[in-house]
Amino acid sequence: MNAIEITNFHKSFGPVTAVDNASLTVKPGELFGLIGPDGAGKTTLMRAICTLLLPDSGQILVNGMDTTRDVGKIRASIGYMPQRFSLYQDLSVAQNLRFFADLFQVPPEERTRRLEQLYQFSRLEPFRNRLAGDLSGGMKQKLALSCALIHTPDLLVLDEPTYGVDPVSRKEFWDILRTIQQEGTTILVSTAYMDEADQCERVALFFRGRIAGLDTPDGLRRDYPHPLYRLEGSDLRALRRFFQDIPTVHSIQLFGDALHVSFAQPPQPGDWRGWQDAVGSSLSHWEAHPPTIEDIFLDLIRSAS
Amino acid sequence: MNSQPVSVQTEGLTRRFGKFTAVDRVSITVNQGEIFGFLGANGAGKTTMIRMLCGLLKPSEGKGSVAGFDVYRQSEEIKKHIGYMSQKFSLYDDLTITENIEFYGGIYGLSREAIRHRREQLLEQTGLQDASRKMTRDLPLGFKQRLALGCALLHDPPVIFLDEPTSGVDPEARRSFWDLIYQTADNGKTVFVTTHFMDEAEYCHRVSIMRAGQLIALDTPGNLKKQYQQRSMQEVFVALVEAG
């Protein structure tokens, strides 16, 4: 039996289609990611999975139970962290954690072990006596996350848990998530950070209410149809302008201190020499490069518009 | 960049909350037209620093000036000479596009005539002329963002603070927003930007990294990578923040 089974789920709010005919399954014990920007439909789908929203049409089963009928049973088996998670602002960090541990009846030994892990990832221990209301925005997010992770449900649904969280803490957060997964919990997590797709076993790429890709990250990479190169040079913006006019170029995007250029037809060694002669030091290095999930997503956006 | 006049300068700027030092003796000099990246782990002191530079919070110690105005004595002048935009709270969703522009124009004390003029300009720049009576909530995120930046620049401030301006935005819109940041800087504005996207750190002219209230690094992305022998800003950030 699948942990989550979604068949032709559809949901509109007035004239706006939030999720359009989405189907996907999440296997027991899987770490599954919903990847997409704000407004893509991720939250709507998660709320429906958690029985908080009725589908217009289609069906969602959680551990074989229907989200429109077995509401109580499903809720008891899920840990859900909504995007706007409400902490108790007038309780301290430690008190918030204890409150949620009590609420979910976490046994004492497990509580100690889990708290230690969570403090390590969140770096909140020095602030354990500070009121939640006095934490910085990102630290509040980490505390909310820690509260959601203090117990171990069958299915954990986390809606953009790393929003506004710094890169170091994000890395540590994913390590914790994998630890929880190894203990047998199925995890569904959404994110707008494309690079986090690679932390998941399988992902659904969400764009404008539709699932535009559904596979393992490597599977998505394999299906990317264009040869892609990573270019380095002294003036990337000038380089970008130059390659925009090359007819065999499919797309060209800035990626930090490099440029990703994909081609409709594979470039020949002679092409590269010609291009380098034309642009000089603007192009210092190029190499074939596997597409990142962000490259794949940029392509999806392009073909959608 | 060095030939440009100084736009923002601090010397030993410090802010304590009770016994806790949120910003600890930070000194920076930012020139006009510079895109200055502000990085750090959550709780490192970035927001406190920005609030002091925006004239919203008095420092406990040290010196600071923004657009030529003193952070202790001229905070009201500072507020008139800066723009602020964040991804989370910028525009009013339940106002139309025109209403948002007029609201911001009013807040910044622009004359009726100036608001009308800037409104037309902004609608044209953002390509929203035909949508001006639409509710802001119905705009795609990418447009909303351009509009939010436009509103923050309505009063033509020399310095603008962008607080995680691209969080949650799709990768295409994120890139076009950075083109807009470059344009803004080319027009002589000083741009302060905070971000958790390390590829965006690479786009800044100079980057500062804070840890536990202190400034632990400040240089161009290229020099920082050389100095810490890392291949990317992501790696520089992780190395520096984890060392703390």
The rounded distance, in Å, linking the Cα atoms of B159 and B6 is: 11
Specify the amino acid at residue B138.
D
What's the token pair of residue A40? 């893509």
- What's residue B42's pLDDT? 84
**Per-residue pLDDT band at B11 (split at 50, 70, 90):** very high
What's the token pair of residue A244? 């925009």
Determine the residue among B16, B17, B23, B42 to mutate to test chain A binding: the one whose Cβ has the most chain A Cβ atoms within 10 Å: B42
What is the distance, to the nearest Å, from the Cα of residue A127 to the centroid of all Cα atoms in its chain? 28
The number of C-beta contacts closer than 8 angstroms across A and B is 96
Lowest-confidence region among A205-214, B24-33, B120-129:
B120-129
Pair type for strands A65-66 and B214-219: unpaired
Closest residue to B171, CB basis, from A137, A165, A298:
A298
Chain A residue with CA closest to B87: the answer is: A164
- What's residue A165's pLDDT? 85
Tens of pLDDT, residue by residue, chain A (305 residues)? 999 999 999 999 998 899 999 999 999 999 999 999 988 999 999 999 999 999 999 999 999 999 999 999 999 889 888 887 678 999 999 999 999 999 888 999 999 999 998 898 788 999 999 999 888 877 888 898 889 888 878 999 999 998 888 888 888 889 888 988 998 999 999 999 999 999 999 999 999 999 999 999 999 999 999 999 999 998 888 999 999 999 999 999 999 889 999 999 999 989 999 999 999 878 999 999 999 999 999 999 888 77
What totals of helices (H) and strands (E) does chain A contain, helices first? 10, 14
A37 close to B (CB below 8 A): yes
The rounded distance, in Å, linking the Cα atoms of B232 and B56 is: 34
**Per-residue pLDDT band at B88 (split at 50, 70, 90):** low
Contacts of A194 in chain B (CB under 8 A): 171
Please check whether residue A279 is in contact with residue A286, taking contact to mean a CB–CB distance below 8 angstroms.
Answer: no
The rounded distance, in Å, linking the Cα atoms of A172 and A187 is: 16
- What's residue A145's pLDDT? 83
**Per-residue pLDDT band at B1 (split at 50, 70, 90):** very low
Nearest by Cα to A145 from A176, A167, A116: A176
Contact A297 B171 (CB under 8 A): yes
Element (H, E) at B36: strand B35-40
Please check whether residue A5 is in contact with residue A61, taking contact to mean a CB–CB distance below 8 angstroms.
Answer: yes
B70 close to A (CB below 8 A): no
The residue to which tokens 């649904």 are assigned: A157
Write out pLDDT tens, residues A162-221.
888 888 888 888 988 898 899 899 999 999 999 999 999 999 999 999 999 999 999 999
- How far B202 CA sits from the closest chain A CA (Å)? 5
What totals of helices (H) and strands (E) does chain B contain, helices first? 9, 10
- Is residue B2 over pLDDT 60? no
- How far A193 CA sits from the closest chain B CA (Å)? 7
- Sheet with strand B35-40: strands edge to edge: B82-86, B159-163, B190-194, B35-40, B206-211, B214-219
> How many CB atoms are located within 10 Å of the residue A54 CB?
11
Pair type for strands A31-35 and A202-207: parallel
- Is residue B3 over pLDDT 70? no
- What's residue A21's pLDDT? 95
Q: φ and ψ at B195, to 5 degrees?
A: -155, 155
- Is residue B149 over pLDDT 60? yes
Closest residue to A138, CB basis, from B43, B171, B182:
B43
The rounded distance, in Å, linking the Cα atoms of B90 and B144 is: 9
- What's residue B220's pLDDT? 96
The rounded distance, in Å, linking the Cα atoms of B217 and B38 is: 10
CA atoms within 13 A on the CB side of A9: 30
DSSP A123-165: T-GGGTTSBGGGS-HHHHHHHHHHHHTSS--SEEEESSTTTT-
